[in-house]
Amino acid sequence: MTQKIILLFTLFLLIFTTSRTECIGFDFTSFNIRNLTLLGDSHLRDGVIGLTKELGVPSSSAGTVIYNKPIGFYDADANFTASFSTRFSFSITNINPTSSGDGLSFFLSPDNQTLGSPGGYLGLVNSSQLTKNKFLAVEFDTRLDSVFKDPNAHHVGFDIESLISIKTANPASEGINLKSGKSITAWIEYKNEECRLRVFLSNSSSKPSKALLDVGVDLSSYLKEAMFVGFSGSTEGSTELHLIENWSFNTSGFVPARPRFNPHNVSDSSVIVSPNISLSDSGNGRHSRLGLGLGIAGPAFFCAVIAVFGFFSLRKWRRIRTQKSIKAELLTGPREFSYKELKTATKGFHSSRIIGNGAFGTVYKAFCISSGNISAVKRSKHSHEGKTEFLAELSIIARLRHKNLVQLQGWCVEKGELLLVYDFMPNGSLDKLLYQESSEASLLNWSHRYNIAVGLASVLTYLHQECEQQVIHRDIKTGNVLLDGNFNARLGDFGLAKLMDHDKSPVSTLTAGTMGYLAPEYLQYGKATEKTDVFSYGVVILEVACGRRPIEREPGTQKMVNLVDWVWGLHSQGKIIEAADNRLNGEFKEEEMKKLLLVGLSCANPDSSTRPSMRKVLQILNNEAEPALVPKMKPSLTFSCGFSLTVDDIIIEEEGGGEWETSRPTIVQID
CA pair distance 307, 351, nearest whole angstrom: 55
Q: Is 246 helix (H, G, I), strand (E, B) or coil?
A: strand
Residue among 457, 600, 609, 602 nearest 521 (CA): 609
Write the CA distances from 185 to 122, 159, 188, 204, 247, integer angstroms.
19, 20, 10, 7, 10
Distance CA 97, CA 238 (A): 10
| 8 Å CB contact between 208 and 191 | no
Q: Which residues contact 323 (CB under 8 A, 6 or more apart)?
A: none
Give the span between the Cα atoms of 69 and 118, in whole angstroms.
Answer: 26
Q: CA–CA separation, 74 vs 83, rounded Å? A: 10
- Residues with Cβ < 8 Å from 385, sequence gap 6 or more? none
Name 356's Cβ contacts closer than 8 Å, sequence gap at least 6. Answer: 362, 363, 429, 658, 659, 660, 661, 662
Instruction: Please write down the HEC assignment for all residues of 269-293.
Output: HHCCCCCCCCCCCHHHHHHHHHHHH
The residues, ordered by sequence, that sit 6+ positions from 351 with a Cβ below 8 Å of its Cβ are none
Pairing of strands 83-94, 240-252: antiparallel
Q: One of 75, 150, 431, 475 is an active-site residue; which one?
A: 475
378 is in an annotated binding site: yes
Sign of CA dihedral 290, 293, 299, 305: negative
Is residue 159 among the annotated active site residues?
A: no
> In this structure, what are the phi and psi dihedrals at residue 105, rounded to the nearest 5 degrees?
-150, 155
CA distance 536 to 517: 5
Distances 159 to 122, 124, 143, 340, 475 between C-alpha atoms, Å: 12, 11, 16, 43, 45
Rounded Cα distance, 449 and 352, in Å: 31
In angstroms, the CA 671 to CA 657 distance is 30
CA gap 231, 402 in Å, rounded:
16
How many Cβ atoms from other residues are within 10 Å of residue 34's Cβ? 12
CB burial readout 606-638, b (16+ within 10 A) else e = bebeebbebbbbbbbbeeebebbebeeebeebe
* Close Cβ partners of 544 (under 8 Å, ≥ 6 residues apart): 430, 434, 449, 452, 453, 478, 596
Alpha helices in 130-279 (DSSP H): none
Could you give the CA distance from residue 574 to residue 567 in angstroms, rounded to a whole number?
A: 11
Q: What angle do CA 593, 595, 597 make, to 5 degrees?
A: 70
Contact status, residue 188 vs residue 229, Cβ threshold 8 Å: no
Rounded distance between C-alpha atoms, residue 646 and residue 653, angstroms: 15
Question: Ramachandran region of residue 573, left (φ > 0), alpha (ψ -120 to 50) or beta?
Answer: alpha
Q: Which residues are known binding-site members for ATP?
A: 378
Which residues are marked as active site? Answer: 475
Q: Which residues are known binding-site members?
A: 378
